[in-house]
């Protein structure tokens, strides 16, 4: 049984999960899709900046920095 999707920012550092849903506005969704963040794509939470924003993730072999409020709206499913 798959787990309930959680915000990307709730992953532990170094933890990998699959993108389940992107709840950003359509223009922001398109920008993320162009960078390879699609539903089903594995992502890894790499680190938080010292003040918690931005958030660094690894997706498709490269590191990407996102604003924390964007990362909060990317829901991921953690493999059980």
CB atoms within 10 A of CB 21: 12
pLDDT tens digit sequence for 2-32? 578 999 999 999 999 999 999 999 999 999 9
Token code pair at residue 73:
């709206």
Do the beta carbons of residue 55 and residue 45 sit within 8 Å? yes
pLDDT in tens, 55-80: 999 999 999 999 999 999 999 999 87
* Torsion over CA: 39, 46, 8, 52 (sign): negative
* pTM, two decimal places: 0.90
Residue ranges and CATH numbers for the domains of the chain are 6-77 (2.30.30.90)
- Are residues 9 and 68 in contact, defined by beta-carbon separation less than 8 angstroms? yes
Place of tokens 């999960």: 17
């Amino acid at each position: 049984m798959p787990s309930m999707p959680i915000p990307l920012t709730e992953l532990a550092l170094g933890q990998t999960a699959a993108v389940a849903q992107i709840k950003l506005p359509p223009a922001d969704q398109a920008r993320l899709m162009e960078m390879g963040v699609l539903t089903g794509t594995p992502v890894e939470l790499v680190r938080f900046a010292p003040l918690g924003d931005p958030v660094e993730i690894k997706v498709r072999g490269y590191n990407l920095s996102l604003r924390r409020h964007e990362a909060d709206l990317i829901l991921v499913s953690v493999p059980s």
